[in-house]
Each structure stands twice: as structure tokens, then as C-alpha cells.
Structure 1
Amino acid sequence: MIFRTLESAEKEGRKIVSPDGNWDSTRMLLKDDNMGFSFHITTIYKGADFQMHYQNHLESVYCVSGRGEVETLADGKKYSIEPGSLYILDKHDKHVLRAFEEMKMACVFNPPLNGKEVHNKEGAYELEADTID
């Protein structure tokens, strides 16, 4: 069995802060845990407004707290994010995420992340990234 707390994961160096200052993500479960997915608790900072395009991963995002919106760029649809809502990027959707308030999100990635990923210039995570030591 694997057991971690958010606090212990942060102390173990599993908290990654985006270079652009939009978010931080504590990677609770990673590729080397051999579960076939990764699980993260991510904070999107108030005022964040940025584009992502996960070309190599599928992601599900559940909002625990805060408010914002996600816009799918292929069709321009906007979806309100609030506590209890889930959005699923099942088609490698290019999207924009906006935080009207600080948002706390629970995120699942498939395939799993290695640990130190941050978004590349396309707004994606690379498949072969550094692991957490």
C-alpha cells in the first residue's frame, strides 16, 4: 500500500511551481508508483489565464474550491468551474484556463507524469521528463 499526505508530499519535494507563476502542483502519485496514472493536487492562482494543450496526456480535473472557467479553443465553448465540477480533456483538447478566484483542483493524468514536468511552449507536458529524486 502507498500512503501519503499532502503535507508529506510537499516536504518530499513533490510540489512543483510553474515558471510562469500561474499554478503549483503537488504530485501525490507518479509514474514510479506503478499505478498507470498520476494524481495531483493543483492550485491555480487567482487571475491566472493561460493556454494548455496536453498532446501527450489525457487529464481529468475536479474542482475542490474556488471559481473560474475553462474554454475549449476548437469550438469556443466556455464552461464554468466551481466546487464539485469535473472537466475531462478526453481528446487532447487545446484549452484556456482562467481563475477568477484561487482554485484548488484534484487532477488525474494518463499516462502518468514523472514528477518535475512544467508546461512546454505548446502548453503540454513532455512524455520523458525528470523524476522527483
Structure 2
Amino acid sequence: MIAENIQVKDVMTRGVVTVPMDSNAVEIARTMADNNVSAIVAIEENGETFGVISDVDILRKMKDKNWEISSVEDIMSDLVETINPSSTVRDAADLMVNKKVHRLIVMSEETVGASYRPVGILSARDIIKQLFQK
């Protein structure tokens, strides 16, 4: 059972690898490889989150001719599921299951610093790892 008192901020991967909206597929894939991540966040010039791109999104696009010139908008999932750092891991797991997603973008609390910006990612793998830590 997922502990009710563990918060997302205690389990999430801190920091978010981002790419600007004018990136192409090669730049996105290179950024993912260079940072050893399976997902990145596409951001607008003002830093607002626009979408999420996973390694599977890149693989799907690779089947297309001239996939290398595909834009962020051609590749990304525009459905971005977010959660606050103070939410419980139980709430995050429930959200993932209900929305059928593998990761959530953790957004800063609106009253803290640069409000509502991505500060981390919580993946299903992060939750499962937490279950078995002693």
C-alpha cells in the first residue's frame, strides 16, 4: 500500500529538462539522450509549460518520412497532467491510473517563487521504487 503521508516532493525527480517550442525532432531526441531522460517538457518563451514529449512519442514519429524536421507540436502530447509537490503519492498514483499516464509534471505552488512552473517529474517508476525502499 502506498503510504498516505509521503508527498510528491519527497519522491519526484527534481528539475525538468526542457526544450523550446522551436526545436525539431533531432534536437529533442539529442536533448533527451544527452540528459538521460525519457521525457522532456516543451516550454514557451515565457517559461510556461506547453506539452510533454516522451521517448515513445519520438519513436512513433520516426516511422514518418523526414521525421527529423518534425516540430515540437508535431511530436508532443498536448495533454499535460500536473500535480503539486505537496500532494500525496497516493493522490499521484490515483491520478496516473485515472488519466492513463505514466508521469506527472510537478508544478511549483502558485504562492512560491516563480509561480506555476515545472519543478520536477513524478513517474510511475518513482512511485514503485518508493514502495520498496526501507
- TM-score interval (norm. to shorter): under 0.3
* Structure index of larger Rg: 2
Higher share of residues assigned strand? 1
Higher share of residues assigned helix? 2
